[in-house]
Amino acid sequence: MADLFTVAPGRKALVTGGASGIGLGAARALLATGARVAIADLPAALDRMGQTERDALVPVPMDVTDDASVGAGVAAAAATLGGLDTLVNSAGVFQFRAIEGISTPEWDRIIDINLKGTFLAMREAMPHLKASKRGRVVNISSDAGKRGFALLGAYCASKFGVIGLTQAVGAEVAPDGVRVNAVCPGSVSETKMGQVVIEQKIALGFGGSPEEVVRRGAESFPLRRLGTVEDVVSAVMFLISENSNWITGESINIDGGSLAG
């Protein structure tokens, strides 16, 4: 997948939420280009990774909701890699909940991880990205960052916020040679978050089994299938590559046509 694009040699990348799912897929794709890659995640998530990948990547314990943890993690990644020129913000959580049923702690958790975590990582990484003169940021938003979905008030608020933050920061740091973009995936069932979505849909009566939920979900997309990690990572790598040099502040739909109709 990385071979499709011209990625500048020797990139030094930090991927949040990098121990699984889209984050790990992006880390693997960056490694394939010869980049040095640090992955930030909670210690338990890093511990679940295989030793081979732990050896190939630089694991960085990080709680993206905590200022001190993000600051220390970014500093450690930059010190180990000899700088940073690439940031992929992939840490995220998901929760179906009716507006009258969501608790304040649940709301805060979703906003803190999905939106505040993206802000904190960009804030701490930005001096390094600017100093590199070739900075790239790709934030993982969602189709729910462009359209409201029932029972997803907190999640939509967080992902709409990521798109607004991407546009604002993209305009702000463009004179420093830093490009900031986002991708907006639809349903991706093979990730840990995707499995959570399936479990919650079964609980809500959307289907009686994972297979039925996946089938019904696939039928709801114009392209008649759910997304894959590779679908999303291909777009992430395009935005990191030299092929997208005149793109910043953009949010690209990776959604099987759902927002088109």
Q: Which residues are catalytic?
A: 155
Secondary structure of the chain in the HEC alphabet?
CHHHCCCCCCCEEEEECCCCHHHHHHHHHHHHCCCEEEEEECHHHHHCCCHHHHHHCEEEECCCCCHHHHHHHHHHHHHHHCCCCEEEECCCCCCCECCCCCCHHHHHHHHHHHHHHHHHHHHHHHHHHHHHCCCEEEEECCHHHCCCCCCEHHHHHHHHHHHHHHHHHHHHHHHHCCEEEEEEECCECCCHHHHHHHHHHHHCCCCCCHHHHHHHHHHCCCCCCCECHHHHHHHHHHHHCHHHCCCCCCEEEECCCHHHC
